[in-house]
Amino acid sequence: MHIEFIVEEYSAKEFLQNILPKILNTNSTFDIHAYRGKTDLVSKLPSRLKGYKAWLPEDHLIVVLVDKDREDCLILKNKLEKIAIDAGLITKSSSGIGQTFQVINRIAIEELEAWFFGDIQAITAAYPGVSANLGTQAKYRNPDAIAGGTWEALERILQKAGYHQGGLEKNKAAREIARHMNPANNRSKSFQVFYHALLNW
């Protein structure tokens, strides 16, 4: 089994490289293709998926992962679904019961960094200066509902603890936090949707 991951930026690639070995079984392989932001990914996705359609073996899966940011989640998901269907591929959402599908579209709400807040222990393991009580604070209890931007919130917390003083290095933070994450215990609902899609494939 092989999975082709399509992500909007390099920090998502760093995250997946470190988290996927904890999720996928040992006989699964994967490649991760990072773009220069969501706009770049969405604009190039139709041609990329049409290219996959021409050669994709039965034991291959495509997973598209983008941030919700401030878009309407349903509109964004429908846009990704339409691109895949127009390319002649069957998505998990459009497939019938028991029908084979080739594409899974998943959205991080609001951003990838919300998934880090879903595992406070991973943040404090990567950055021991961060308070272990972070998860008890009301504004961080629901990772998918953190207001004002999750990467900005992560930057503030890490800088307060003495890390990333020159600004959040998103690739470095993604790599260091993901190494300590426990996927099964993540409190982000959007992460769990992503996680279980991979477990049940």
pLDDT tens-digit readout, 149-176: 999 999 999 999 999 999 999 999 999 9
The per-residue b/e assignment along 127-143, b for 16 or more CB within 10 angstroms, e otherwise, is: beebeeebbeeeebeeb
Lay out the sheet containing 29-34: strands in order across.
29-34, 2-7, 60-67, 103-108
Indicate the Cα dihedral angle 6, 8, 12, 14, nearest 10°: 80
pLDDT in tens, 91-124: 999 998 888 999 999 999 999 999 999 999 999 9
- The number of residues making up the chain comes to 201
pTM score, whole prediction? 0.96
Q: Which residue type, as a one-letter code, is found at position 96?
A: G
Beta strands in 68-133 (DSSP E): 103-108
> What are 198's two structure tokens?
């991979």
CA atoms of 112 and 174, how far apart (whole Å): 9
> CB 184: neighbour CB atoms within 10 A?
10
40/135 Cα distance (integer angstroms): 34
- The CB density around residue 105, as the number of other CB atoms within 10 Å, is 24
pLDDT at 138: 92
pLDDT digits (tens, 9 = 90+) for 73-92: 999 999 999 999 999 999 99
Query: pLDDT tens digits, residue range 59-72?
Result: 999 999 999 999 99
Longest dimension (CA), the chain: 51
CB 75, CB 35: distance < 8 Å: no
Look at 96 and 52; give whichever has higher pLDDT: 52
DSSP-derived secondary structure for 155-166:
HHHHHHTT--TT
